A = this chain, B = another copy of it.
Amino acid sequence: MKKLGFLSKFFKTWIDEYNNGSRYGLKGKILFEKQSNFQKITIVQTEKYGKALLLDDAWMTAEYEEKNYHECLVHPALTGSKSIEKILIIGGGDGGAARECFRYEEVKNIDLVEIDKVVIDVSKNFLPSIGGNAWNDKRLKIHITDGITWVKNIQNNIYDVIIVDGSDPKGPAQALFDQTFLKNCHRILKEEGVFAMQTESPHAFEKEHIEIVKLIRKIFGFADPCYGHVAIYPSGFWSWTFAAKDSPRYRNPFAPRLKKINGNFTIWSIRWQKASFNLIPSYLEEKLKNE
């Protein structure tokens, strides 16, 4: 991709993400490419999924291939937390996680803490459907700063829900997989709140997946991964891990809230959610238990 960068602005070409002897490519034309202070940011007009975003040559999201990520990251948390008035999103600069949160009228405030303003700017510009009305919602407060520092400076027991929507554990997202960060998330989460985090592919990043799930479980007390499918990510098999302090409340949707969620779902349903916490390959179930 790097070598073809210049030509790709004029002609369709294959743009691939490489992962350990495999690659996944989409055919398209590069609309935008820029090295920000944190990462290389690319927007591609793909044939298959509309406009798509890459960070450091890794596919992040695409107009027609994002709901299976965002719906899965958000709804087990927001249907499970006792209250959902005050939400923190770390990362999530494409706006998709915020959009899903705003389906719930109970939400009063979202702090969206994104380290890289360019990600927000290109998302608003090229991928407006992903953030949707969230960008115009007065309950959304955007903070362009480091999530690590943000959680360090917040008082105890402030947020009902914390959603960590970062990229892979390298580059700017690396410290999100660290226990100092997670301990602060635990500290600032309310007693009956829910923590949610994308936790990589159990197939393409098995070691990272197992380590982060165990670390989250150790820090929060209750934590379980759910498994689903994101075609543009390495191996297509992805995970999100939910955690809580008082019980595995993320597994038990709060019934009165369910009736009031706005809009239709593409992926998520109670049936899907229940299954996604159980679609665990048997070898992995063993490893998450014993290692």
- A203 and B231 form a contact (CB under 8 A): yes
- A interface residues, how many (CB within 8 angstroms): 43
A171: interface (CB < 8 Å): no
Residue A83, interface by CB 8 Å: no
Q: How far is the CB of A69 from chain B (nearest CB, A)?
A: 12
Chain B proximity mask over A186-212: 1 for CB below 8 Å, otherwise 0: 000000000000000001100000000
Known: A235-B231, A274-B278, A276-B279. A22 touches B20 (CB 8 A): no
Which of these binds chain B: A217-225, A241-249, A264-272? A264-272
Which residues between 245 and 291 of chain A lie within 8 Å of chain B, taking CB atoms? Answer: 264-269, 271-272, 274-283, 285
Residues of A within 8 A of B (CB): 14, 16, 20-28, 46-48, 68, 203-204, 227-229, 231, 235-237, 264-269, 271-272, 274-283, 285
Contacts A24-B24, A229-B237, A279-B279 supplied; 11 other A-B pairs, CB < 8 Å = A14-B23, A21-B46, A21-B48, A22-B24, A22-B25, A24-B25, A68-B281, A269-B282, A272-B282, A274-B275, A275-B279
